[in-house]
Amino acid sequence: MLRDPNAVTEDDLIVLGGALLLCLRDDHNGISVDYAEMADGADLQQDVTEALTNLPVSPTNPTIDPLLATFTRDDQFYEAMHALLAMTIPLATTNGADRAALGPTQIYVLTQLAAATTIWDCDMTLHDLLAERGLPTTKNKLNFMLAALGQ
């Protein structure tokens, strides 16, 4: 039986996690440079990270930890947080996220977002990404929500 080409398996996530680790570590072998030359100046890290936003929501996705480490190192790499939000917090089906149902990974991602500065000041799409998930759309409101959750 043929596999649904749109279905993402756990093996796919592991392969993507490995690809992400390769892209996000120091590029001593020039893969990013080769990619930029072949892709009209595109950035390999950014393109791989943006592709991760299409994965299904799964707080156990193995790419979460490398993305969190990358965002913690560089909070101007907005695409990392965009992917983290897309992979850990589903789109809202009501007027707000069920905050009581947020798991530890989701809370940790939101805590890292709340601790960042640059993304709140400069990312013009963050407000919409949070609103789509029924989450607070300002840093102060997110911190207030996290404090209410004991974070």
Rounded Cα distance, 57 and 41, in Å? 30
Encode pLDDT of 57-76 as tens digits. 888 887 888 888 888 888 88
pLDDT of residue 141: 95
Encode pLDDT of 36-51 as tens digits. 777 777 777 777 778 7
pLDDT of residue 96: 55
Could you tell me the pTM of the whole model? Answer: 0.78
pLDDT of residue 61: 80
| Mean pLDDT value across residues 130-149 | 93
Rounded Cα distance, 38 and 34, in Å? 6
